[in-house]
Amino acid sequence: MNMSFLRLSIWVYLAIFFAYLLGPLVIMSVTAFNSSAFPRMTPWECLTFQWFAELFQDQRILNGIKNSLIIGAGTVVLSVAMGLAGALMLTQVWPKLRATYYTIIIAPILIPGVVLGISTLVFWDRINRMLGLGADSVLSNGIFLTVIGQSTFIASYCMLVLVARLQRYDIALTEAALDLGATHAQAFRKILLPFMRPAIASAAVLAFLASFENYNTTTFTFGEYPTLTIELAQKVRYGITPAISALAFIIVALTVFFALLNEAKLKRQELVAAARQKATVEELAGKVRLPSFFAGNMAAVLLVVFAVATITVVGTATAYNPQQCIANVKEQKRLEAEQRIQELRKQREEQRKQREAQEAEQGAAQPATPRPSNNSGFGNVFAPNSLGNDGNESDDATPETDDAPAGNGGFGGVFDPNSLQGGD
Amino acid sequence: MSAGIGVDLQNLWIRFGDFVAVRDANVNINGGDFFSFLGPSGCGKTTILRAVSGFLEPSEGNVLIGGKDMKGIGPNKRPTALIFQNLALFPLMKVWENITFSMEIKGTSAVQRRKRADELLDMIALPGQGDKLPSELSGGQRQRVAIARALCAEPDVLLLDEPLSALDLKLRQHMRTELREIQQRVGITFIYITHDQGEALTMSDNIAVMRAGVIDQIADGKTIYNDPATAFAASFVGENNVFRGTVKRVSGSEVLIATGRSGDLAARISTANQGKLREGDEAMMFVRPEALSVATDGMSGDHCINVRVKHEEFEGNVFNIFTEDAGGKEIKVSLPNTGQSFQDHTGQTITLEYETRNAVAVPAGELAAE
C-alpha cells in the first residue's frame, strides 16, 4: 500500500518533470505544422508544411544559418585546440601552479558573456588601430571577432571535458613510445591523440552547440555577419511566425537523430567488445562473426524508426497539398464573421422596431427625444458600424443591410449561410 | 651468442632538490649479463633505470652504454628498451601493432610488421594472438607482449622495472625461468629492477644491493648470500639471525665478538671487510637459520648459543624452531627435512651450534626493515 503509493508518486513526479522539460519543445514542434498564422496549437486549423517552405525561402534565416555554421566550425577548431593545450598544461606541466592556473583558465566561464563580447570588441579594435589597419581588416571582421570572442569561454568548457579524459591517461604510455624510438611529435600523434579521440569528439560537439546557441557574446561581435540566434532575435522583435517553430522542429529532430546515432554506435561497440571476448583465436585472426546491427541494440532500432518516420514525413510534405483545407478554413472564418455580423444586424433591427413601436405609442409629441435605451441596454457597442454612428445614420443604413441576407450581391455567395453546408 | 653491449655508471649522482636519490653509484655491467638492482622500495633503483633509459639526466657522473657517454641523448635515441612496471601497453592498439610499434615509427610496411609480429609471438609462445587487444589478454600474456614489444626494437640493453610485481606467485615463478631463457636466447644485456630477492637470486648473473641511494654490494648471488659486505645486504637478502656486539679479538680472518647475552661468539670476517674490524669496534654477526643446528647436551664454546624454544613449525622441506636467547631476542633455526623424526622441544632450553665459517661478521650498520 505504502510502497505502491511511493511508486505512484515517483511516476507522477517523473511525468511532471518530463512534461516540464519536454513540453515546450513538443508544443513548439506541433505549432510548426498548424496553418494558423500565429504559432499555436489550438484551435487546430490545417496540417501544413508551408512554414518549412517559408523558412527555406527566408534569405536572412538562411544567411544566419550559414554564418552560424562557419562560426561554429571556426570555434570548434580554435576551442578544441586551445582546450587541449590547456588540458595538457594542467595535467602534465607546472604541478606547483596547478590550482592557480586552473582558476585562471576557468574564469571565462564565470564571466558574463556580455562582458566577454564587449571586451573582445574593444580589445581587438585596439589591436587593429595599433597595427594601423582599417575598419575592413581581418581583425575587425565579424566572423573573426565572433570566433575569437566565443572561443574565450568555450575553450574552457572544452578543457574541462578533455582534462577529465587526460587524467586517466598513463604518462608511461608516452614514455614507452619515446623509449621505442618515437619522437615527441610521433608519441603525441600515435598514442595520446587516439586516446583522447572520444573526448575530443565530445568537446567538439559541445563547442559547436555552445557556439550555435550563443547570443550574449555574439551580439557585440557579429558585425556584418549575423548568426542564426541574432537573426531570430531580430525577427521576433517584429512578431513571431510558425516558420521559427519549423526551424525549432528541425533542430530538435536533428538533435534526436544524432543522439540516437551516438547511442546506437556506443551500444554497437559494447556488443562488438563482448563478441570479441567470446571469440576464439581463429575467429579473431580470420573473420569475427559479429552480432547483427540490430540485435540487442534498442537505440539502433529507434534510429531506424526515426529515420523512416522522417522520410515518410518529408515524402508526405512534398505530395501533400493543404490548399483545399486552408481554403475551407478561410471560408469557415469568413462565415463565422458573417454570422456574427448577421446577428448584430438582427439585434439592431429588433431595437429599431422596438424604438419605432415606442415612438408610435408616444406619438409625435416627443419626436426629438434621444434614444438612450438604444445605446445603454444593448450589447451592440461591438457592432462594426456602431462606432461614430448617429441614430439617423444607423437608420439610413438599415435599408441597405436589410437587403444583404436576401440578395447575394457582390459577395459571390460566400456569405450565404447555406454555403457552409455545401462546402462540407 | 654475441657478447652484447655493456653499461657503465661512473660516479653517478641523482638529486631531486635536496633529496639525494642516487649517491655516487659506480657499476660496471658486462655485455650479455643479466644484472639486477635489488633493494627495498624507494632506494633509488628505479631512478638509476630511468637515468640509463634517458628519462632522467644525472646530476653528476656519467652513464655509458657500450662505452659511449649518453649525456644529452634522449630516450628515443638510446639503444635501450624499457619494460615498465605497469607494462604500458598501448590500450587502443592490437597486440601485433603494440609489438611492432618501434617498426611503425621507422615507417616499415604493415605486411613486414605483421610478419615480424608473428615471429615474435611464436617466440613468446602466444601464436595467433596478434589480433587481440591488450585488455583481452591475461596478466602473464600481457607481460610477454611487453617483452616482445621491447625486443622488437632490437635494443642492445633491455631494462626491466619490476615487471613481475603485478603477477600472482605461481605466474611470477614461471616468468622468472621464462625471462632467463629469453635473455639467454637473445643474448643482450638485461638490467632488472626488483625488491624481491628470490627473483634477483634465481635470474641474475650479478646483483647490486641498494640501500637509500647507495650501492652496498655488487656480486653474484652466491657471494651476496654467503659473504655479504654490509649488515644491510646480510639482512635484506634471505633470512638471517643477527647478533650485535663488540670485537673482542681479531685473529686473521676470524673474529671473536662479545655479545651481551649470548656470550662470546666466533665468526668469519666477510671478504669485503677483511682488515677493517679492530678490537673494540661495534660489529654484527649473521648466522643463517639453516646454518644452525641443535647441539648435543652439554656442549659449549664460542660457537654455541643457549636458547629457550618458543614454538616450532613444520614447513615441509624444513622444520623451523623459533627460539629466544637470554635477552629475549628471537633466533630462528631451520633444519632440513631429510626424513629424520623431529623432537618437540617447545618450552625446553637447548643449545644451538654453528660452524664458524657459516657465521659472518661485518661492521655494525643499518638493517633492512622487516
Residue of A nearest to B99 (CA): A180
Q: Which residues neighbour A89 within 8 Å (Cβ) at sequence distance 6 or greater?
A: A101
Residue of B nearest to A175 (CA): B55
Q: Which residues neighbour B68 within 8 Å (Cβ) at sequence distance 6 or greater?
A: none
Among A95-99, A375-379, A420-424, B61-65, the minimum mean pLDDT is found in A420-424
Q: Quick one: pLDDT at residue A208?
A: 92
For A71-101, the three-class secondary structure string (H helix, E strand, C coil) is HHHHHHHHHHHHHHHHHHHHHHCCHHHHHHH
Q: Examine residue B163 and say whether the peptide bond preceding it is cis (omega within 30 degrees of 0).
A: no
Residue of A nearest to B80 (CA): A179
A→B contacts (Cβ < 8 Å), by residue, are: 170, 172-173, 175-183, 186, 190-191, 194-195, 276-277, 281-282, 284-285
Q: Using an 8 Å CB-CB cutoff, list chain B residues near A191.
A: 90
Q: Quick one: pLDDT at residue A125?
A: 87
Res. B192 pLDDT band, cuts 50 70 90: very high
State the span(s) of chain B assigned CATH 3.40.50.300.
Answer: 7-226
Residue of B nearest to A280 (CA): B129
- Residue B234 corresponds to which cell in the numbers above? 646480510
CA distances B327 to A195, B124, B262, B263, B365, Å, are 61, 54, 8, 11, 20
Q: Give this complex's ipTM.
A: 0.80
Q: Which residues neighbour B69 within 8 Å (Cβ) at sequence distance 6 or greater?
A: B62, B63
Rounded average pLDDT over B193-201: 88
Mean pLDDT of chain B: 87
- pLDDT tens, residue by residue, A8-26: 999 999 999 999 999 988 8
Asked if B156 and B65 count as a contact pair (C-beta separation under 8 A), the reply is yes
β-bridge mates for residue B320, sequence order? B313, B334
- pLDDT tens, residue by residue, A34-92: 777 777 777 777 777 778 888 888 888 888 889 999 999 999 999 999 999 989 888 87
Three-state DSSP state, B172 = helix
Interchain contact, A180 vs B130, CB within 8 Å? no
Give the sheet arrangement for strand B206-211, strand by strand: B80-83, B157-161, B189-194, B34-38, B206-211, B214-219
B3 pLDDT more than 70: no
Asked if A164 and A199 count as a contact pair (C-beta separation under 8 A), the reply is yes
What percent of chain A stands above pLDDT 90?
A: 22
Rounded average pLDDT over B219-229: 91
**What would the CATH number be for the domain defined by B239-363?**
2.40.50.140
**Most confidently predicted of A304-318, B167-181, B196-210:** B196-210
Q: Quick one: pLDDT at residue A393?
A: 43
Q: Quick one: pLDDT at residue B153?
A: 87
What percent of chain B stands above pLDDT 70?
A: 99
Interchain contact, A281 vs B55, CB within 8 Å? no
Distance between CA atoms of residues A115 and A9, nearest Å: 44
Residue of B nearest to A273 (CA): B136
Rounded to the nearest angstrom, the minimum Cα separation between B133 and chain A is 9
- pLDDT tens, residue by residue, A326-347: 778 888 888 889 999 999 999 9
β-bridge mates for residue B191, sequence order? B35, B159
CA distances B237 to A197, B168, B200, B223, B282, Å, are 48, 21, 9, 11, 22
Q: Quick one: pLDDT at residue A73?
A: 94
B84 at A interface, C-beta within 8 A:
yes
Asked if B234 and B287 count as a contact pair (C-beta separation under 8 A), the reply is no
Beta B80-83 vs B157-161: how paired, if at all?
parallel
The alpha carbon dihedral of A142, A147, A148, A151 has a sign of positive
Give the sheet arrangement for strand B293-294, strand by strand: B293-294, B349-353, B304-314, B318-324, B330-336
Residue of B nearest to A194 (CA): B92
What percent of chain A stands above pLDDT 70?
A: 81
Rounded average pLDDT over A315-325: 75
Of A170, A172, A183, the CB nearest to B76: A183
Residue of B nearest to A174 (CA): B88
What domains can be seen in chain A, in order of their start residue? 64-236 (1.10.3720.10), 380-424 (no CATH)
Three-state DSSP state, B107 = coil
Distance between CA atoms of residues B191 and B158, nearest Å: 6
Q: Quick one: pLDDT at residue A277?
A: 73
A284 pLDDT more than 70: no
Q: Which fold has domain B7-226?
A: Rossmann fold (3.40.50)
State the span(s) of chain B assigned CATH 2.40.50.140.
Answer: 239-363
Q: Quick one: pLDDT at residue A418?
A: 52
Please indicate whether residue B13 or residue A306 has the higher confidence score (pLDDT). B13
Q: Using an 8 Å CB-CB cutoff, list chain B residues near A195.
A: 91-92
Of A170, A281, A285, the CB nearest to B88: A170
Distance between CA atoms of residues B155 and B5, nearest Å: 10
- pLDDT tens, residue by residue, B108-119: 888 999 999 988
CB proximity under 8 Å: B 316-355 to A: none
Rounded to the nearest angstrom, the minimum Cα separation between A281 and chain B is 6
Q: Quick one: pLDDT at residue A288?
A: 54
A402 pLDDT more than 80: no
Asked if A158 and A83 count as a contact pair (C-beta separation under 8 A), the reply is yes
Three-state DSSP state, B325 = coil
Of A179, A277, A281, the CB nearest to B128: A281
Interchain contact, A179 vs B74, CB within 8 Å? no
Interchain contact, B149 vs A180, CB within 8 Å? yes
Mean pLDDT of chain A: 79
Q: Using an 8 Å CB-CB cutoff, list chain B residues near A183.
A: 76
Count other Cβ atoms within 10 Å, centred on residue A178.
23
CA distances A95 to A88, A101, A368, B69, Å, are 11, 10, 101, 31
Interchain contact, A276 vs B133, CB within 8 Å? yes
Distance between CA atoms of residues B127 and B95, nearest Å: 11
Please indicate whether residue A414 or residue B279 has the higher confidence score (pLDDT). B279
Distance between CA atoms of residues B337 and A317, nearest Å: 94
Of A173, A181, A281, the CB nearest to B90: A173
Asked if B316 and B327 count as a contact pair (C-beta separation under 8 A), the reply is no
Q: Quick one: pLDDT at residue A410?
A: 47
DSSP A406: H
Q: What H or E segment, with its residue span, contains residue B61? A: strand B60-65
Interchain contact, A285 vs B106, CB within 8 Å? no
